[in-house]
Structure formats: C-alpha cells, structure tokens
Amino acid sequence: MRNAPLDAPSHALPTAMLWVMGLSTVGVCVASGLYLTLDHQRVLGWSLAGSLYLMSLVEPRLGMVFRVFFLALGVFISLRYMVFRTTETLIFTGPADFAFMMLLYLSELYGVIIHFLGMFVNVWRLDRKPAPLPEDQSLWPTVDIFIPTYNEPDDVIFLTAQACALIDYPREKLAIYILDDGGTLAKQNNPDPAAAWEARDRSERLRHMCDDLGIRYLTRERNLKAKAGNINSAFMGHSYESAAPGPDGALVPCAPLRTTGELILILDCDHVPTRDILRNTVGFFLKDPKLFLVQTPHYFLNPTPVEKNLQTAQDSPGENEMFYGAVQLGLDFWNASFFCGSAAVLRRSILEPQGGISGETITEDAETALGLHAKGYNSVYINKPMISGLSPETFADFILQRSRWAQGMTQIFLLKNPLMQKGLTFEQKLCYFNSCFFWFFGVARFFFFISPFLYLCLGLRVYNASMSQIVAYALPHLLASYVISNNLFGQVRHPFFSELFETIQSFYLLPAILAVALNPRKPSFKVTPKGVALETDFLSHLSAPFYFMLLVCLFSFLFGVYRWTAYPMERDAIIVTVAWNFFNLMMLMLCLGVVWEKRQIRRFHRFRAKGLVMLGDPDSTDWTPTALYDLSLLGMGMLLADASPYAIGDKLNAQATDSYGHTYTFRLRIERIFPWGGMHYVGTQFIIPDDEAMASVVAYVHGDSARFAHFARSLFNKRVGLLTGFYYLIAKSFLGTVQNIQGIRRMMGRLARNLATRALGVVLPQTARREP
C-alpha cells in the first residue's frame, strides 16, 4: 500500500491517474504500429501536431483528464516516429556506417525515453502550502541546524550563521552548529607547519565567530566521506567543540558533543535562510510520523556563468528553476521528491537507524532519499524559496559542480539502480530512474553533434530516410516534442535553453560519466568554490573543445558544398544535414559566449527587490517615500522622482518594513545618483557601526521569504513561443561570438604590450651600459 504523505492527493487519485495513463498507453502503442501510406502519415502527423499546438493554448485550464489526453497525443506522434525509425531506417550499408547509425539511433531512443519519463513525472504537480504549527509552542519539536563548511570564505559562513541566529523559532528548542571540516584534527596536526597553522587559524576564527553569534562550533578528527561524513559525525555525536595539546604537542579532542534535535535543518554554508523557514516546514512532521524529509527550493542570488556570460539572466529563468520550480513538484505528486543536500529538514529518528546520511556515492543526498523511500517513508516538497544561495562564479566551477552531480547520479544508476530497489512503488522507481538516467545526456549530445560531420565529411550513412519521410515522420515528432516541453516547462525553461545547457556541459560530462562506468566507486567529492571574485574578463581554460568543434562544424559546411555538387542524388539528405549542422553551429556560438568569463568583483551580490523605503535626514523628522529597486548586504538602491535634494556622500536615515511587519531603521551613505527610466536611481551603502546594526541588515536583506518568492514568480510568468525562443538564441549566439572575438583581441593586445614592455626593459638597460 502506498504511504501518502501529508497533503498529497488521496491514494485513489494517483491510482486513477495510473489507470488512465495505462489505458492511454495501451491504445497509443497499438495505434502507433498501424501501417499508413506516406501521404496518409504526412496528413496525420501534421494534423495531430497542429492539434497538439492548439490544445497547448488551452490545456492548463481544462483539468487532469484533458492533460493526460494531451500528453498521450504527443506520445502517439513520437511513437509513430520511433516505429518508423526502427523498422525502416536501420539499414546495413557497411560496418562503419552501421556502427555510427546505431549509436545515433540509441541516442535518439535515449532522448525519447527521457521525454516520455518527463511527461510521466510532470503529469500533475503538487503545489503545497506551508503546514501551520500548533499555537502551543511546547508541542513544537526541537531542531538542530547544521552548517557544514570546508574551505569557504569566513564572510560567506558568517552571513549564513548570522541569519540562522535570527530564525523565528523558540530559542530553547533551537541549536545551531557550524560543522568545520577545514579545521579537523588531521588538518591541525598536519606535518606541514604552514598547512597546520592555516587549519588552526581557521578553526580559531570560526570559534570566535560562533561565540559572537551565540552558536556552537564542531569539528571532527579526520576528513572521511566528505560532506556526508561531516554531517554524520555531528549527527551521531562523534564531533567535538574543542581540542587540547597532548603529551607530544599534537592536538587531541576533548569530549565529543552529542546533538539531540528531533529535526535537523541542513544548510550549505552559502545558503542564507529566511526567518520563517522552520515555521513553514516543521508543521509537516507533526502531522505525518512517517515523513523523513521536507525539501525547499535552492534560490540563487547570482546567475550561473552560462546566464551571466550570455547576459540572459534578466530575460529568462535560471537553469535551476526547471528542477525546483517544476520537476520537484511533479516528483512530489508521486511521493518521490528527494533530498538536495541543503535547505531541507530531516527527522532524526528515521535517519538514526541507518547511521545518518548515506555516503556510498558522491550524491549522498539523493542516495539517502532513495533508501528511505524504499523503506516506506515519505517526503514533502514545498515550493517556497526560503534560502538565498550562490551559484558557481566561473565556468570551470560550474562544470566541477555539474560533473559531481552527473557522476553521483550515475553511481546510483549503476550501484543502486532504482528499477531494482525493493520497497519503492512503481511510480517512485520511474521517478528515480528518470533522475539518474537524465545525466547520460552528455553521451547523446555528443553523437547528435558529430553526426552531420560523419555524413558530410566522411560520407557515413548514419540516417537513412528520404526528405518525404522526414517531413511525414521526423518533423511532426520534433514539433510535438517541443510543444509538449514548452507546455510542461515553458514558465521555468524557455525554448531551446535545455539544448544550450546540455551542449555546454556535454563535452565535459561525457568523460566524467565514462570514468564512473569503468569504476563506479572511484569518484570523490569535490567542493564547489563559492564567493569567488573575478577581477577581469578572461578566457576560460576549458574553452578548447568548443573551438575544436567549431572547426569541425565549419569544415562540415565546406564538405556540404562539395557533396551538393558531387552527389546530386543525395541533395535531400544534404539539405537536412546542413540544417542540422547549422543548429549545432548556433549552439557552439553560444558556447563561445559562455567561455568568455565576465568580471565579477562583488562579494555580495545585488538582487532585484520590491518595497517601500522612507528616506530622511538625520536631523529631520520629514520622510520621503521611495521605491526599493535592489538590495545587497552592502547597500540598497531606490528610485525617486526627484533626486535634487540629495548628493553623493550625503548620509541619510532609512526606514523599511518587511512582509512580517517588522520595521527596520538603517543609516545610509549615498554612493551614486543617475537617471533611470524617467526616474532617478539613488545607490546607497549601509553604515554598520555595530553587531546589532549588522543583524538588522541581514534580517531585512535575507530574512524575508516573500521577497524571493515575488522575484521568482516574476520570472516564471515569462512563457515565450518556439520561434521567439529560437530567434532569441540566434541573436545571443552572434552576440556571444562577437564578445568572444573582441575579448580575445583585447587579450592578445595586452599580451603584445606586455611582451613589448619586457623587450624594451631588456634592450634599454643594455644600450645605457654601452653609452660612455
């Protein structure tokens, strides 16, 4: 019997959904194998694709049954294509042709399977509201907050710790711990004096920080099993607060400290919580004794390097929004939303029997959730941003993070395949299988990319179909796939952005996945650097594959011209392949824009905000209303109709109220004033004289969840059409390439000037020595 989590649909609803989907699947499979003439198939394919598009305009308003019919129609169109692809195009024309033809076919099959699984996962989404807590606070459970850290900057850790100290929860029921893996005994006793001093100094700094904030510091003896080991050491009572010199001068641990909270909130050290995170999540545990997890979204203040370098952050949702804004809600419907490593609350009594967080793979979060779901426990996902975090700043750090995710999910696929896990429901197996299998996209993308080259340059027949067959089968399938994807994810992922995000990662994820396939237990956990400042623009050291593939793509066009003249009977295939190659070229041009890194000198990112701020002179009681425009930990920006009373350098008082009704008073200094859209922008910096003022700034800037929810919704509502999305990326591809070329030209100019300066520095002193 399926254990339905709190507020999930009743057991009958998912069961009825499965019956409807099952019957639809049987009908679709039978119909997809029916023989039709090519003319009839062309009429059917395009009629159904057009109907699908028209239905997508009204589908969100017509309920669940219509949605299943809508998705089933898309499945039918794609299955018709795959039946044709399997029965009529897999022709042996030679060993090399056949090998690459099968690799391309398997890549297409992978894409269709992921497409179908995505439809299943997202057939209906569960959008929960926060579960209220009882008025009697004595009934509230105790909570431990764990902030694991390894090598992150002190100011990043301080911000999260300060925000945790401001969380709205009874202090007698709350304990906050910094779990320092950068100051373990093994590091502090390192034979290298410099490394040992660095670890001891870091440990001492963090201890003082904890003392100032009224929270606890914990570390452990050795760095075993990375983040999972750090959390489990504190969870199981093996960590300690302090160490003392032993007889030989080496530090030895004092008595271990056992944490005791009934619930545990885990936060990455760059994930700054809002004040209401516990009030919005803890209530679920009181109503469902089998609930092991409440996961919340990861909301990022700064764009990923892909979005920053291509300048798409203001026009489209971020890369993470599709997962946290859509997929997790679909997983939650099937009781399969999983732990994402941070911004999550877990129940101690359920974790304790298995020793805490699982650690066999490097995605310990998803592995833990998989094991606990298999034991019959439940999870909850609440789509309300209640942390603000940091994305990787550089493309190299971005690839490091995504490679860890890909390798970890591949490990789960190989070592703990969800389809073989006893205890999971059928729906949960499909959901977890989809989450793991998705990360093989790097393999498929690679073959999609090289296939035009294989035909145009090497003459390998990897796709045996005429133009009329492509028009009848392939194009309706592609159109239907994009219509379905835009319908399911259009508010959180604009058209063709998935192709961009996957292409930019695929050349690096492919070897990472192959390494796991050869040795599933070899990958090790690598921490993603956060809070990195970039002083200048520069070319990423990971850019070489994209330049090589650009040359391959351009050579393919040249050979396409040759084949057009030399093989007139193949012109249908040449037209299709050149168009395919053009799409690849557009993706590569976008990649060139990504690998040219833009400078980023802010340590604390400024983000859009909304609200009323009252400005006044220190010696006056008059207040001027202004519109809040943006915020950071360093200051705020406001819009005024008339900025004439103010000048750069002026000091002001400001009053602002958050969504909870708390009023804050700040001291500001004006740093800049300039015209902005018919108004005047006034940029200010906070004047922070003491710890109390700092706490107020943190509470106002990062403590209000309504601020992040408003900003996220403003992005989610920007659905665009297929053609609009395609033209947008074409424009961005040219812009990215131009920026890359200009950047390289400037870089070469600087290099030439430096070489000339050095040469002159050598020649001139020698000339001076020869003079009498």
The residues annotated as belonging to the active site are 181, 365
**Structure tokens belonging to residue 257:** 């400290």
Residue 610 burial by Cβ neighbours in a 10 Å radius (0-12, 13-18, 19+): middle
Cβ partners under 8 Å of residue 53, min gap 6? 479, 483
Beta strands at 387-389 and 299-300: parallel, antiparallel or unpaired: parallel
Whole-angstrom distance, CA of residue 208 vs CA of residue 435: 42
For 197-228, b where at least 16 C-beta lie within 10 A, e where not — what string?
Answer: ebbbebbeebbebbeebebbbbbbbebebbbb
Whole-angstrom distance, CA of residue 217 vs CA of residue 204: 10
Residue 150 burial by Cβ neighbours in a 10 Å radius (0-12, 13-18, 19+): middle
Whole-angstrom distance, CA of residue 698 vs CA of residue 398: 27
Whole-angstrom distance, CA of residue 37 vs CA of residue 772: 97
The dihedrals phi and psi of 263, each to the nearest 5 degrees, come to -120, 155
C-beta of residue 711 within 8 angstroms of C-beta of residue 609: yes
C-beta of residue 379 within 8 angstroms of C-beta of residue 295: yes
Separation in Å, CA 133 to CA 146, 198, 443: 22, 44, 47
C-beta of residue 330 within 8 angstroms of C-beta of residue 64: no
H/E stretch holding 144 reads: strand 143-149
**Structure tokens belonging to residue 502:** 């996957």
Q: Which residue in this structure is represented by tokens 């200009």?
A: 742
Beta strands at 174-180 and 143-149: parallel, antiparallel or unpaired: parallel
C-beta of residue 638 within 8 angstroms of C-beta of residue 627: yes
The DSSP symbol for 620 reads -
Whole-angstrom distance, CA of residue 104 vs CA of residue 446: 10
Q: Measure CA 130 to chain center.
A: 23
> How many other C-beta atoms lie within 10 A of the C-beta of residue 675?
9
Whole-angstrom distance, CA of residue 488 vs CA of residue 490: 6
Q: What is the 3-state secondary structure (H, E, C) of 148-183?
A: EECCCCHHHHHHHHHHHHCCCCCHHHEEEEEEECCC
DSSP string for 14-60? HHHHHHHHHHHHHHHHHHHT----HHHHHHHHHHHHHHHHHHHHHGG
Largest Cα separation within the chain, whole Å, is 102
Q: How wide is the angle at C-alpha 125 spanned by C-alphas 121 and 116, nearest 5°?
A: 20
**Structure tokens belonging to residue 452:** 């035009």
Specify the amino acid at residue 485: S
Q: Is 699 helix (H, G, I), strand (E, B) or coil?
A: helix
Q: How wide is the angle at C-alpha 759 spanned by C-alphas 753 and 765, nearest 5°?
A: 130
- Sheet of 143-149: strand order equals 216-218, 174-180, 143-149, 263-266, 344-347, 291-295, 378-381
